[in-house]
Amino acid sequence: MTKNKKNHSLFLVILFFVLTSFTLIQLQVRKPTLFLIGDSTVRNGTKQIGNPLQGWGSFIGEEFDTTRIAVKNLAMGGTSSRTFITGGLWDKVLAQVQPGDFVIMQFGHNDGGSYSDSTRSRGSIKGNGEDSLVINNVLLKRKETIHTYGWYMRKYVAETRAKGATPYICSLIPRNNWKDGKVIRNDNDYAKWAKEAAEMSQTDYIPLNQLIADKYDVIGKDSVAKFFPEPGPHTNAIGAIFNAKCVVDGLKAIKNCPLNKYLKK
């Protein structure tokens, strides 16, 4: 072998080790990812100030140091705790989840719908038990076993943990509905069941419904009205930013929360 060929071979060997080492380093320093799943109150269209309706998940990334953690808002408008799974969206999220990642889940606004109809078929059984019901899903044109809202939430938790990631259950945001000068809470339905699902699965819980409602009460009905461009649960961008900060408040209240180290100082 000539000297030039030896030098060329040596160069290729060195190049191989350099590239291999670089790849290993890249794998070792992979940033964790915070995944957000939920309905349109978490993600409603694209993030753009001026859009009439926005979800808090489109803005919560601004609360985190994204040089150290990635934030992926994979929520989908119109979904319930049931249809985010049956529509295949959860499988797509779960395929991306890796050990050390985080998942915040918030459902409830669409879970009270019909079990089966020709347009949505998204309702879950009310409550947090093990009840199930076999239905004929006219939208999907097949039989389907449906479960309680809490059952679906616990399923997300179990499958998140199975991937080595950390789940957080978040109660739904309140609507702009008032009674006797106070925002109406969901203490007797979906916020209650979200908390129960968290307790049953020993999962950290963000009482977002209460956190936001408490702050709405303080700033008053007229100020809160500016967050809602139309009737319903959907806020504008300003309201979504307000709600995102409430999610962060909820995280900060959790003792020894591993996600908090990625918040901006």
Q: What is the largest CA-CA distance in the chain?
A: 92
Prediction pTM value: 0.87
Share of the chain above pLDDT 70, in %: 88
Domain assignment of residue 63, given as a range:
31-112+152-254
Count: domains in the chain: 1
In tens, the pLDDT along 38-77 reads 999 999 876 665 678 999 999 999 999 999 999 999 999 9
Q: Are 126 and 150 in contact (CB under 8 A)?
A: no
pLDDT above 60: residue 218? yes
With CA atoms as reference, report the closest residue to 41 among 172, 148, 139, 225. Answer: 172
Question: What's the DSSP call for residue 226?
Answer: T
CATH of the domain at 181: 3.40.50.1110
Residue 191 resides in a domain: yes
Predicted confidence at residue 48, as pLDDT, reads 60
Q: What is the 3-state secondary structure (H, E, C) of 205-224?
A: EECHHHHHHHHHHHHCHHHH
SS3 106: strand
With CA atoms as reference, report the closest residue to 101 among 56, 26, 55, 168. Answer: 168
In tens, the pLDDT along 158-201 reads 999 999 999 999 999 999 999 999 999 999 999 999 999 999 99
User: CA separation (Å) from 60 to 34, 66, 233, 237?
Assistant: 10, 11, 18, 12
Residue 88 resides in a domain: yes
| C-alpha span between 245 and 237 (Å, rounded) | 12
Residue 132 resides in a domain: no
Average pLDDT value over all residues in the chain: 90
Burial zone of 48 (CB within 10 Å; 0-12 exposed, 13-18 middle, 19+ buried): exposed
Residue 104 resides in a domain: yes
Give me the residue label for tokens 């997300």: 156
Other beta carbons less than 10 A from residue 169's beta carbon: 28
Mean of pLDDT values over 24-37: 77
Residue 45 resides in a domain: yes
Helices of type H across 89-166: 89-94, 149-162
Predicted confidence at residue 24, as pLDDT, reads 40
Residue 157 resides in a domain: yes
Residue 263 resides in a domain: no
∠ CA 210-52-205, nearest 5°, is 25
Residue 249 resides in a domain: yes
In tens, the pLDDT along 70-104 reads 999 999 999 999 999 999 999 999 999 999 999 99
